[in-house]
Homo-oligomer: A and B are copies of this chain.
């Protein structure tokens, strides 16, 4: 059908470029659409609380490898990834729908394992599974989840509200999911070469769990509420710290200064990255899949949360003309670039 037409390679656009390209011309017409494409979740007004909607698809061979991903963990993660988007709007996640495409190689017990993980995540986070769809698939396992939630209008936090001087905060620690993935990939290769060798993941539970069983930061949303803080902007870290802060800066039309020595990295992440000859800071900046929350607060709010052990203060927002920069441990300044996981380069 496209024989005689000009062809453009999708990889040249990248994921965000592609989404922009495909959806940029779409103008919402429904009065109830308060926010469409372009944030962690859409915002919809059905007359009461604002409804939040977010969706994500996980594909075998792209987003997960069944060689080292237990199906129960996969179900759990598929839910977490979506809940994380609702929390990133400062909302309460309430429902999910789950569509799966499964090849006939899976017995029922395998799908039950997948659903055990889905249920566990729903149970733990208090969300309801309200719909879905199962189909056979000729293409391996596909999981598509849509998460719903709500928030009062005054509580919703978008990506575009950061102001000069706001403090950039991040929850938890970063880079662990990426380094955990390197470990799992290495053990897979060892296993493929010699199936008699048992995987050597001893003592690495934390980073392996960061990869296989991430936790959406509902607790951080509650903590901020209790502290009386509404972030000025927020996003969840799915593609890496650098990519996410650049989203906030571009949507807020601001610059930023990030301090390398303030970026939270767990010692196990640090040491394991070093074993792989990886720079731990780059793992944190570009690794992705940590599902921590990145947000900005007014300086006045700093006193209220400065003693929370699970929140790190990693920089501040600047005028756009100052650029988007990382100050290294040695004091040098580098332009921040998104080298986050890109679905079309992998």
Q: Residues of A with Cβ closer than 8 Å to B?
A: 1-2, 5-11, 13, 15, 18-19, 21-23, 26, 28-30, 32-33, 35-37, 41-42, 44-51, 53-57, 59-63, 70-71, 94-95, 97, 99-102, 104, 106-113, 115, 119, 122, 126-140, 142, 144, 146, 148, 150, 343-344, 346
Contact = CB atoms under 8 A, between A and B. Distances in A.
Nearest to A85: B131
User: How many copies of this chain sit in the oligomeric assembly?
Assistant: 2
A44 B148 contact: yes
A57 to B, nearest CB: 4
Nearest to A123: B29
Given A30-B94, A47-B47, A59-B138, 19 more contacts: A8-B107, A22-B134, A26-B119, A26-B129, A30-B95, A37-B129, A42-B97, A44-B94, A53-B130, A55-B99, A57-B100, A57-B144, A59-B101, A59-B136, A61-B138, A62-B138, A101-B142, A136-B346, A139-B142
Nearest to A60: B139
Contacts of A108: 7-10, 13, 18, 21
Given A57-B142, A128-B30, A71 B1 contact: yes
Closest 9 CB pairs of A and B: A47-B48, A139-B139, A48-B48, A42-B130, A144-B144, A7-B107, A8-B108, A57-B99, A61-B138
Contacts of A62: 101, 135-138
Best-surrounded residue of A29, A45, A122, A146 (most CB of chain B within 10 A)? A146
A164 to B, nearest CB: 30
Given A28-B128, A48-B48, A128-B29, A135 B104 contact: no
Given A26-B129, A109-B5, A46 B150 contact: yes
